[in-house]
Amino acid sequence: MTEAALLDAARGGDEAAFAQLVDAHRRELLAHCYRMLGSVHDAEDALQDALVRAWRALAGFEGRSSLKAWLYTIATNACLKAIERRPKRVLPIDYGAPGDPHDDVAAPLVESVWIEPFPDEQLRLDDGLAGPEARYEQRESVELAFVAALQLLPARQRAVLILRDVLGFSGAEVADALDTTPASVYSALQRAHKTVDERLPQQSQQATLRSVGDERLRELTAEFIAAWERGDVDGVVNLLTEDATMTMPPTPTWFRGRDAVADFLARRPLRPERRWRALPTVANAQAAVGFYQWSEDAQAYTAHGITVLTLDGGLIGDFTTFLEAKAFNAFGLPQTYEQHLRK
């Protein structure tokens, strides 16, 4: 059935036709909600809310815009409502100063203030730009640095920048989606550019990964995993830039520089009695690793955290470990390493 035929059927109450219409846009809509909210869980909730609203309002859809633009409008406003109800999400480097590796690590924060990793490989985001008017590539726009920069913007500036520069909507379309004027859109866009441009690195991860090449990326990831599994602090640190950072949400403590990272690794995760296994994955369009720590209670290597690697040239400039075992499910990773071995 054509989109027009599906739309007619859906307007007539055919939920299956509506589901088929929506499925063509679901991946991109979820990525859009993630950019807005910085959380996969929040994005899924916002998308579900948006689809319920779309179903209820479908009879009033007159086709003055495309179905895709209409769905994005509803999803954007669902995200804006969600932002009103909770604190913005950040990475530890935006939460406080770097820690001293000889001090105790701060306790994890109870409230949900941290950005979450995005399983873009599972959702198969497209390469390149969403349209000729877009400024950022689709995969570039889910990189950790980009998502973190977005969360620093006021909610409506965030929406304007994503709709205009990521999705390639025209100024008039953005104004219509946000019930404002094109002049207000361009004013908000200028302010958003200033904040984001000051925060982003000179080169995106996608550009860095292209310059490094797939073979070197695989080698670097394998070297990082091998050094970690054998508890080799020097081996890990030699893969880092001099001013590399290490963050561990939901723990607010983070470290900057090779020496600080080395001291912490030797005292905590890579001390001799700890044992590790790891599986490579992809998160936020970047190389990532799922780490498993040996558990005496379970007598197995159990899910510990998803580490996202941010490259700087041919070395690692940052590694962020999201200490959340439940996140493994979204990445298609098992809860124990032994489950992987049995496949």
Find the domain containing 254 and state its range: 213-341
Are 68 and 121 members of one domain? no
Domain count, the chain: 3
**Per-residue pLDDT tens digits for 319-336:** 999 999 999 999 999 999
Q: Is pLDDT of 222 > 80? A: yes
Query: Tokens representing 255?
Result: 């470290």
Are 299 and 317 members of one domain? yes
Are 217 and 333 members of one domain? yes
Which residue, 209, 240, 261, sits at the end of a domain?
Answer: 209
* 3-class secondary structure, 312: strand
Residue 231 domain flag? yes
**Per-residue pLDDT tens digits for 3-15:** 889 999 999 999 9
Q: Is pLDDT of 105 > 70? A: yes
Residue 228 domain flag? yes
**Per-residue pLDDT tens digits for 54-100:** 999 998 888 888 999 999 999 999 999 999 988 889 999 999 999 99
CATH number of the CATH domain containing 76: 1.10.1740.10
Are 163 and 29 within 8 A, CB to CB? no
Are 50 and 166 members of one domain? no
Which residues lie closer than 8 Å to 288 by C-beta, 6 or more apart?
117, 280, 281, 282, 306, 307, 308, 309, 331
Residue by residue, DSSP assigns 120-178 as HHHHTPPSS-SSTT-SS-TTGGGSHHHHHHHHTS-HHHHHHHIIIIIS---HHHHHHHH
Are 217 and 337 members of one domain? yes
C-alpha to C-alpha distance for 53 and 267, rounded to whole angstroms: 51
Which residue, 67, 86, 105, sits at the end of a domain?
Answer: 86
Are 10 and 18 within 8 A, CB to CB? yes
Are 175 and 247 members of one domain? no
Percent of the chain's residues with pLDDT above 90: 87
Are 336 and 219 members of one domain? yes
Residue 98 domain flag? no
Are 267 and 323 members of one domain? yes
Are 195 and 303 members of one domain? no
Residue 197 domain flag? yes
Residue 106 domain flag? no
Residue 327 domain flag? yes
The more confident residue out of 65 and 233 is 233
**Which strands make up the sheet holding 251-256, listed edge to edge?**
251-256, 240-248, 315-322, 300-312, 286-295, 276-283
Residue 108 domain flag? no
First-residue to last-residue Cα distance in the chain: 39
Are 217 and 288 members of one domain? yes
Output the pLDDT for position 242: 98
Are 230 and 181 members of one domain? no
Q: Is pLDDT of 110 > 80? A: no
Residue 112 domain flag? no
**Per-residue pLDDT tens digits for 170-185:** 999 999 999 999 999 9
CATH number of the CATH domain containing 292: 3.10.450.50
Which residue, 189, 209, 229, sits at the end of a domain?
Answer: 209
Rounded mean pLDDT, 197-220: 95
When pLDDT is cut at 50, 70 and 90, the band that residue 131 belongs to is confident
Are 231 and 125 members of one domain? no
CATH number of the CATH domain containing 165: 1.10.10.10
